[in-house]
Structure 1
Amino acid sequence: MLQLNGIHSGDCLEWLMTLPDNSVDTIISSPPYNIGKSYESRTLLNEYLALQGLVLRECHRVLKETGSIFWQVGVYADKGVHIPLDVRFFPILEDLGMIPRNRIVWVRPHGLHAKNKFSARHETILWFSKSAEYKFFLDEIRVPQKYQNKKSWRGDNKGELTCNPLGKNPGDIWLFQNVKHNHEEQTVHPAQFPEDMVARMLLATTKPGDVVLDPYMGTGTVAVVARDHGRNYLGAELDPTYHDIALRRISGEPDQEGVFPNLKTLRDYVSRTGKPIEDYRFEVQVGKTPTERSKSKRFDEAHHLVEIENRLATEEESFGQRTRGLSDGLPSLPTQEIKPVDEPLGLF
C-alpha cells in the first residue's frame, strides 16, 4: 500500500521499486547534475546516464496513464566539454514510450562563467506525459496579459476583449529567481528549486488530493509546495542532513534551540502563531535579525522578465553599435525603479 506524505531516507532507486504501479499523478525532480561540484560525486557520463535510466524506468512504471514527468537538468562539463544533459535525457524518456510536451528554458541571470566559450545562463526542464490522455490545467497557471484589457476596435467583435480575461499562457521561457543568499526559501542546499516554479508544474498537471513524487527530494521543496496546495507527496533523499531539513520544513516548527531551516519557514510560523520573530533564528542567517514578511521586498516572475529583457537589449544594442563602428566602449546598464509586488517570490 502506498504510504503518502512521507520522505524515505535512503537510496531512491531501491525505494522506487517498492512502490505500486500507476500510483503517482506527477513527478517533479532535479537529479544530481554530475558536474563535479562539492555536493555531488563525479562518475563517467555513461554510467551516470545508465543509473538515471533505471530511475526513470521506475518513475514511468509508478506514473498513472494521465501523469507527467518534469525533469530539470543542467549540463555535464568536464575538461572543456559541455554537454547539455537534456539532450541525453530526451531519448531515455522517449525510449520509455513517453511523449514530449515541452522543453522549458529556465533563464538564470547569473551562472557559470567561462573564458573559452559562452557563459551558461539557462537550465532546462523536460516535460513528458505518459500518454496522450494527460492532465493539463491552463487556467490554474495563467499570467497577466501584456495588454490585459485590450479590446477590438473594428469588425463584428468591436469593443470586445481580444484576449482571455483570466490571463495568458506563461509560455516555455521561465524566469523564476535562483534560491540564493537573498531569498527567503534558501536552506543549506546549494541547488534548490524555487517554490513558485514547482507550483507552476504542480498546478498545471494535478488536482487537489493527487500524488506528487520527487525521487531526489533534497531539502523538501516539492513536498512543501504539495502540502501548501492540498496535494499528497512522497519522495526519497539519500543525504541525512537534507532529509532532516526537509522534515523540519514540512513540520513548520523550530528545533529545540529556536532555529528554523530557512527564513520562509520562520515567517510562516510567526504569521501562524503571532509570536515575535526576534525570538528565533534561521540556519542561513548572516548577522541580522530576521524581518517579518510585511517588511520584505517581494518580486514576481514578471519583474525578473522585464529586468532581464532590458539587460539583454542593452547588451545586444551595445554590441551592434560597436560592430558598426558607432561606439568603442561598454555602456553601463540602465537603472530601474524596483517596485515590489504582493506575489510570490520573497526576498529579505
Structure 2
Amino acid sequence: MSNSIHLNKIHIQDVFTFLESLPNDYIDLAIVDPPYNLKIADWDNFKSKKEFLDFSFEWIDLMLPKLKNSGSFYIFNTPYNCALFLNHLKNKKVYFQNFITWYKKDGLSYCKRRYNNNQESILFYTMDAKKYYFDYESIRIPYNSVERIAHASKKGILKNGKRWYPNQNGKLCPDVWEITSERHKNKINGKVIKQNHPTPKPKEMIERMIKASSKSGDLVLDLFSGTGTTSIIANQLGRKYIGCEINKNYIDSSLSILDIKTKRSKNE
C-alpha cells in the first residue's frame, strides 16, 4: 500500500485526482452518492446532459479498478440516470445484482403533468458473479402482518406441503426500501429546515448497505462524501473508510479531513 494513502479520513479533493491516487484492487465496498444534475447546488449543475454523463462515466470507469474482485458497489441517482449508468456498465466486467427503489416518504409534491416523484434509485453491483460477500441475515426487516406472524410463530403456516415458521429476526430485505428522507425527518413544526448539505442520505439506509456488503475490518470507499454519513457509519460498524469530498464545509465535525490541493479542475 502506498505511504500516501490516508485511511479513516475524508480527502478534500476532486474526485478524479483522488481516484487516480488509489491503488487498484484496494476497496471492499464503495457507496457512491454523486451529482444527479438536478441543479440543486453548484456541484450539481452541468451545462448539458452530455457533460453530466461524460463526468459520471469518467468517475465510474476510474473507480472500478480500485475495487477488489470480491468487492461491491452501490450508486445513488434518479431512476433515469441509473438506467443510463446501467447501460454504460453492461459491457464492463461487473455484475448487476439489484435496481433498488428508495421510497423516500418525502411529503407533498405538486406535479400535475406527470406522476409525482417520490423515489430515488440505487444500483447494486458486485465485481464477481459469485465470490462476493452478502450478509442477508444482518439486514432482515420486520414482517408486515403482525397478527398473522404472531399466529404463525405458534402453529406455523402450511406452504407447499411444509409447515413454515417466521424468522424471529424478520423477513428477507426486498429491493424496495421504505425509508423516510433526512429532509422530511428533520422538519420542525411541519416546515423543511435548511440543512448543511442539501441531500444527506438516511443513516439506517447506509447502515443496511455496509452490514450487507462488508465485514468488520473491510475498507469502505465514501465517494462524494457530502456530510460523511457513510464514513461515520462505517467507523461505528468497525470498518475502515476513505472518503472524498470537494467542499470541506459539508463534512461532519466528528470526521478527520485531509485538505489536498486539487490538481484537476472538474465540476463535482
Q: Same fold (TM over 0.5)?
A: yes
Q: Equivalent residue of 1:117, what SS?
A: coil
CA shift for structure 1 position 215? 1.5
Alignment of 1:217 onto 2:238: no
Unaligned 5+ segments in structure 1 are 76-83, 252-348
CA–CA distance in structure 2, aligned partners of residues 178 and 130 of structure 1: 29
CA shift for structure 1 position 38? 3.3
CA–CA distance in structure 2, aligned partners of residues 229 and 129 of structure 1: 21
Residue pair 1:26, 1:205 contacting (<8 A) in 2 also:
yes
The structure-2 alpha-carbon separation of the partners of 1:105 and 1:215, relative to structure 1 and needing over 3 Å to count, comes to: same
Using the size of structure 2 for normalisation, the TM-score is: 0.81
CA shift for structure 1 position 169? 0.8
2:138 to 140, 145, 156: 140
The structure-2 alpha-carbon separation of the partners of 1:113 and 1:13, relative to structure 1 and needing over 3 Å to count, comes to: farther
Partner amino acid for 1:37?
A: I
Q: Equivalent residue of 2:197, what SS?
A: coil
CA–CA distance in structure 1, aligned partners of residues 158 and 132 of structure 2: 39
CA shift for structure 1 position 235? 1.2
What does 1:33-72 align with in structure 2 at a 5 Å threshold? 33-39=36-42, 40-72=44-76
Using the size of structure 1 for normalisation, the TM-score is: 0.63
4+ residue runs over 4 A deviation: none
Residue pair 1:220, 1:249 contacting (<8 A) in 2 also:
no
CA shift for structure 1 position 139? 0.8
What does 1:233-244 align with in structure 2 at a 5 Å threshold? 233-242=241-250
Unaligned 5+ segments in structure 2 are 188-193, 257-268
Q: Equivalent residue of 2:183, what SS?
A: coil
Partner amino acid for 1:138?
A: Y
Residue pair 1:187, 1:219 contacting (<8 A) in 2 also:
no
Residue pair 2:182, 2:201 contacting (<8 A) in 1 also:
yes
Alignment of 1:12 onto 2:10: no
1:249 is matched with which residue? 254
What does 1:1-348 align with in structure 2 at a 5 Å threshold? 1=2, 2-39=5-42, 40-74=44-78, 84-110=80-106, 113-132=110-129, 133-145=131-143, 146=145, 147=149, 149=153, 151-152=155-156, 161-180=164-183, 182-183=185-186, 187-242=195-250, 245-246=251-252, 248-250=253-255
Q: Which has the larger radius of gyration?
A: 1
CA shift for structure 1 position 13? 1.1
Residue pair 2:180, 2:202 contacting (<8 A) in 1 also:
yes
CA–CA distance in structure 2, aligned partners of residues 28 and 46 of structure 1: 24
Residue pair 1:212, 1:232 contacting (<8 A) in 2 also:
yes
Count of equivalent residues? 238
Identity of aligned residues (%): 30
Q: Equivalent residue of 1:28, what SS?
A: strand
CA shift for structure 1 position 237? 0.5
1:314 is matched with which residue? none
Residue pair 1:150, 1:163 contacting (<8 A) in 2 also:
no
Residue pair 1:34, 1:43 contacting (<8 A) in 2 also:
no
| Superposition RMSD in Å | 2.4
Partner amino acid for 2:20?
A: M
Q: Deviations over 1:269-296 (max 9, x none)?
A: xxxxxxxxxxxxxxxxxxxxxxxxxxxx
Q: Equivalent residue of 1:250, what SS?
A: coil
CA–CA distance in structure 1, aligned partners of residues 122 and 233 of structure 2: 18
Q: Equivalent residue of 1:169, what SS?
A: coil
CA–CA distance in structure 2, aligned partners of residues 203 and 153 of structure 1: 30
CA–CA distance in structure 2, aligned partners of residues 90 and 218 of structure 1: 23
